[in-house]
Amino acid sequence: MSRIVVLDYGSGNLRSAERALQRVGADVEVTSDHRAAMEADGLVVPGVGAYAACMEGLNAVRGGRIIGRRLAGGRPVLGICVGMQILFDRGIEHGQLTEGCGEWPGTVERLQADVVPHMGWNTVRAPEGTRLFAGLDADIRFYFVHSYGVQKWELEPSDRIRPPLVTWAEHGGEFVAAVENGPLSATQFHPEKSGDAGATLLRNWLDTL
């Protein structure tokens, strides 16, 4: 059984993430303990609310360092919602720029759509070779609730690194819905709130550990 730590840094929705992971067979601990977070088979970084508030909470438990050290050792990390957004270089909310963890280049910015927040069940376009979306129909829907997103994937292609798998969704324009990049995975939607589709995705992630 995979041992998973859900990183507790004061952001909401921890209980849902914990239960959804248990549902697909993980042994879950919700904690900010550095050692537990380092030693777990997989680390889940949730996040809801404002980018700046999440970064503040994450910095308070030195979460960026935990994420960075795990990745340096090839140890899996899954970011969810704002937990995905903080993996990018920066977020801009209400004109305020907040520095993120910088695992990927890119900027989290307000969605340009008639109705914001983007709230509800939407489809995604997963690339070939995806492991997270394996076994899921192309028209399957996941639950999103966010006003900001990464609308431009800025990582330059290189012959020397395997390109990350980027999944896109659309609301007004296109935005990044998920990324699979070696040990680092992330979803803008909430798998823990996406019913059976979300359970399949989480199980797929556990299978990669």
Interaction site with another protein (CB under 8 A) = 12-13, 15-16, 19-20, 23, 48-50, 53, 114-123, 139, 141, 143-147, 170-171, 190, 192-196, 198-199
Query: Minimum distance between the CB of residue 5 and another protein, rounded to whole angstroms?
Result: 19
Instruction: State how far the Cα of 4 lies from the Cα of 7, in Å rounded to an integer.
Output: 9
Cα 179-177-40 angle, rounded to 5 deg: 45
In terms of CB distance, is 167 or 181 closer to another protein? 167
Question: Is 190 in the active site?
Answer: yes
77, 82, 88, 89: CA torsion to nearest 10: -130
Buried b (16+ CB within 10 A) or exposed e, 32-57: beeebbeebebbbbbbbebbbbbbeb
CA-nearest of 106, 135, 134, 138 to 122 is: 138
Q: State yes or no: is 29 an active-site residue.
A: no
Active-site residue identified among 18, 103, 180, 192? 192
**Least distance (Å) from another protein to the CB of residue 45?**
16
Nearer to another protein, 31 or 147 (CB): 147
CB 98 to another protein: min, Å = 14
The residues assigned a catalytic role are 81, 190, 192
